Every structure is written in structure tokens, then in C-alpha cells.
Structure 1
Amino acid sequence: MTIAYWSVLAAALLPYIFTLLAKAGGPRYNNYSPREFLEKQQGYRKRAHWAQLNGFEAFPPFAAAVIIAHQAGAVQSSIDTLALAFIACRILYGVMYLANKPTLRSLVWMAGIGCVVALFVSAA
């Protein structure tokens, strides 16, 4: 399996780290109505919830881009580099969300989307 394919797995699992942060500590977690519980969180826990939601939203285009780049025969080292850069952006995005740095978070988000676009372009 390539580094890029492993990155797809990492991208699929990364939102769950933020889910754990959103649920940890604070008021007791209620598994009976987890969505309602998460929406009532405040501070970094609320931002961790938002980061996990965005992680789930960012995953499909990234996974598709990696698969399409592989199928189209793009240069493997480029695919791997862009996939790792995307994962780094997603981690940094989450950190910026937790730290409540919206401008930096948006810049990192754009860099991550840039990686996805570059993966698609590499397949052309």
C-alpha cells in the first residue's frame, strides 16, 4: 500500500481524535443523545466538535483525489507528498480550531483544499 493510501486511512480516523476531545472532561457525556450533547459544549470542546465535523466533510474529496490520482498514473512521489501535506494541514487545522485562531485556521484549510486540487490536477 502506498503512503497516500495510508494517508486516506489517517484522514478517515483523524476526525475521531477531535470527537474524543469534544466529549472528554466537562459535563458528563451523554451517549443517549450524543449530537445534542455535543451541540451544548462550550469553548475548546465546542470547537473540537466543529473540527471533527469539518474533518468528515473534507474526507470524501481527499479520498477521491488520491484514488483518482493513483488510477490516472500520476507520479507516485507527488501523490504521496500531497497526501502527507493534506494530513499535516488537517492536523494543523484542528489545532488552530482548538486554539481559536480563525484566520490561521482558514489559511490552513485553504492549503488543505489546495492539496486536494493539486491531486486532481496531477491526474490530468
Structure 2
Amino acid sequence: MHIAYWCILIAGVLPVVTVGIAKAGVKNFDNHNPRQWLDRQDGYRRRADAAHRNHFEAFPFFAAGVLVAQQLGAPQDSIDMLAMAFIAARLAYTFLYLSDRATLRSVAWAIGYLSAIALFLLAAFKGI
């Protein structure tokens, strides 16, 4: 299996990891109304939930970029490199979000987003 496919899997797991961080070790977690409970949190738990939501938002665009690039025959090594750059950026984004480093977090987000865009451009301009 190509590295880029593993990266799609990792990207799909990141939301679960971050919401797990938000909920971990809490005795008063309300599983009947988890979203309302999460909305009332603050500090790193609130930021972990925000990262969780953002990972879900980023996932479809990234996964589509990988699949489009492969479908249109872009070079696999380039696809794999961009997919790994996306994952590295998203991991950095998560760490920076949890540690409340907003400016650096935004830089990491932008790198991930640009990596996903580059996957589409790689496919579009593969023959040029």
C-alpha cells in the first residue's frame, strides 16, 4: 500500500485522538450530551476539541487530493511526500493547538492546507 494511503488513515484517526485527549481523565464527562459537555470545557480540553473538529474539516480535502492525484497519474513519490508533509503539519498543528501557540499553529495549518492544494496541482500539471 502506498504511503499516501497510510497518511489518509492517519488523517482519519487524528480526530479521534484529539477528542480522546479532550475527554481523558475526566470523571464528570457526560456521554449523554458529549458536544454540550465539550462546549463547556476550557483550556487544553477546549483546544483539543477545536483541533478535533478542525481535523474532521481538513480530512475530506486532503483525502480527495491524494485520490485525485493518484487517479490522474501524478508521480507517486511526489504524492507520498506531500501526504507526509500534510500529516507532519497536522501533527504539529495539534501539538501547537494543545500548547496554546496560536501563531505557530496557524503556520502549521497553512502548511497542511498548502500540501493538500499541492496534491491537486500536482495532478493538474503532471504533464507540463
- TM-score category, normalised to shorter length: over 0.9
Write the distance in 2 (CA, Å) between the matches of 1:51 and 1:27: 22
Write the distance in 1 (CA, Å) between the matches of 2:91 and 2:37: 24
Structure 1, unmatched stretches of 5+, are: none
Task: Describe how 1:96-107 pairs up with structure 2 within 5 A.
Answer: 96-107=96-107
Residue type at the aligned position of 1:122: L
Residue type at the aligned position of 2:60: P
Residue type at the aligned position of 2:20: L
**Residue equivalent to 1:22:** 22
- Measured against aligned partners, the alpha-carbon deviations of 1:102-123 in whole angstroms (never above 9, x if no partner) come to 1000001000011001100110
Write the distance in 1 (CA, Å) between the matches of 2:86 and 2:52: 15
**Shift of residue 15, structure 1, vs aligned partner:** 1.1
**Residue equivalent to 1:91:** 91
**Residue equivalent to 2:62:** 62
TM superposition outliers: structure 1 runs of 4+ over 3 Å: none
| Residues 1:78 and 2:78 are matched in the alignment | yes
Q: What number of residue pairs does the alignment pair up?
A: 124
Structure 2, unmatched stretches of 5+, are: none
Write the distance in 2 (CA, Å) between the matches of 1:79 and 1:28: 44
Percent sequence identity over aligned pairs:
51
TM-score by length of 2: 0.94
Write the distance in 2 (CA, Å) between the matches of 1:45 and 1:92: 17
Write the distance in 1 (CA, Å) between the matches of 2:26 and 2:102: 23
**Shift of residue 25, structure 1, vs aligned partner:** 2.5
